[in-house]
Structure 1
Amino acid sequence: MNYFPRVIFDYFKKNMGLYIFVFLIFVGGTILGSIAVNMMSDNQMKATLDFINSFFVNVKNIEVNFSTIFYVSISNNLKTALTLCILGLTIVGLPLIPAVIFFRGFVLGFTVGFFIGSLGVKGILFSILSILPQNIIIIPSIISIGVAGMTLSLTVLKNRFKHYTEDYPRLLMGYFLFNFTFCVMLILAGLIEGYISPVFIRLLTNYI
């Protein structure tokens, strides 16, 4: 009964160092992304802000296609997950997986940084209600898939140079099952982004 939870706990404990490393990479990307907002020219900032304000003004009159938002969300997230999963099968995954994680952090940091920098308190509320809910699931999932990929890459590297023997079929089965679990979580995040966050945005426009 307690076998599966114990295996999961042992896995996280064993790879805690990698989790911290990948998390810091993500945080670094987020910080740099938020700083990059300040590098936008005044014209770029004004044009983007005018677009956002126009969106808020007209959002009540816009027919929201929830299924399209859901599809775009899971498409983007599953593409990232698939990229990380494939990279984990090779040695090149060791440098490239952190790069992908860093980029995801950069995009998130830039987005949140722009809203907060241009809208102030309203931007904070917008970020909390429309960006945070799905990312509570997306961020741990992407980081976990990245850690799994780096762990497998390290195993491949170790076996190549030190000639260790591993039960690769069993190892790969666990790897794909682990990633599949988090891909399901990403689909759940897509449901939140597609069907719940837009409702929050509509409610928020009453106060912006």
Structure 2
Amino acid sequence: MQLLRHTLKDQSQLYVFVAVLFLVGVVFGALMVNALSLEQQQDLARYLGNFFRTVSQTQEAGGEPGPGSYWDIATLHLKWAGIIWVLGLSVIGLPGILILDFLKGVLIGFTVGYLVGQYAWKGLLFSLVAVAPHNLIVIPALFVCSVAAVSFSLQMIRSRVLTQRQGGLARPLLSYTALTAVMVAILLGISSFEVWVTPVMMKWVAPMLVASTG
């Protein structure tokens, strides 16, 4: 925790930059909804209609997710954090980290923007139970991973490129990896919530959206 407090204090400007980049992605993703063609909107509407009906039927059947579902979601989060960690190990990976943060914002902005645009307040309610809860933890955890990666990449630039010094990166690398490992543990924990709690909340709201889709 001391390591986390240290990075939050010393790298506040990077956190602000990453957060702004993410928010720009959210806005961009929401605006992308308006760029969909009528055919694309109809395809998405059919897909979501089938999805909501499946969720509602699962509620009636009393189905529960299994360990396989957990590892599907956990693996997705681990891949995201792992890619950020790998990109942070190289100078050329720096733009890739920022692109991933922007894309994460785009995905969330598009999802919420489409649900609200298509289903109004019901879509907003579904977003609040299906998208928001776990992302309140996932997004900050990925922010920490991203800032740690950017910071380490910049440290490599200063050490290897600007000052031409060799060595001296073992301790920063250890701290970077340790911080990423802590975030991975958090992501594994929130995956449990996403698998066993989020579907329950989705089942409460899904019948209303089934009625909206007819």
TM-score, structure 1 normalization: 0.91
Is contact 1:116-1:122 (8 Å) kept? yes
Any stretches of 5+ residues in structure 2 without a counterpart?
A: 210-214
- The residue number in structure 2 matching 1:61 is 57
- Report which stretch shifted further, 10-19 or 134-143: 10-19
Q: What amino acid maps onto 2:10 in structure 1?
A: K
- Report which stretch shifted further, 65-74 or 129-138: 65-74
Is contact 2:52-2:207 (8 Å) kept? no
- SS of residue matched to 1:120: helix
Report the CA distance between 1:206 and its aligned residue.
4.0
Paired with 2:206 and 2:100, the residues of 1 have a C-alpha distance of: 33
Report the CA distance between 1:42 and its aligned residue.
1.1
Q: What amino acid maps onto 1:119 in structure 2?
A: Y
- SS of residue matched to 1:92: helix
Is contact 1:130-1:198 (8 Å) kept? yes
- The residue number in structure 2 matching 1:127 is 127
Report the CA distance between 1:120 and its aligned residue.
0.6
Q: Verify: 1:39 aligned to 2:35, yes or no.
A: yes
Identity %: 27
What is the number of residues matched between the two proteins? 204
Paired with 2:171 and 2:55, the residues of 1 have a C-alpha distance of: 51
Paired with 1:57 and 1:21, the residues of 2 have a C-alpha distance of: 40
Any stretches of 5+ residues in structure 1 without a counterpart?
A: none
* Structure 2 CA distance for partners of 1:166 and 1:19, relative to 1, 3 Å: farther
Paired with 1:20 and 1:166, the residues of 2 have a C-alpha distance of: 30
- Aligned CA-pair RMSD: 1.7
- SS of residue matched to 2:20: helix
Any residues of structure 2 matched to 1:1-208 within 5 Å, and which? 5=2, 7-62=3-58, 63-160=63-160, 161-163=162-164, 167-208=168-209
Q: What amino acid maps onto 1:54 in structure 2?
A: N
* Structure 2 CA distance for partners of 1:58 and 1:82, relative to 1, 3 Å: closer
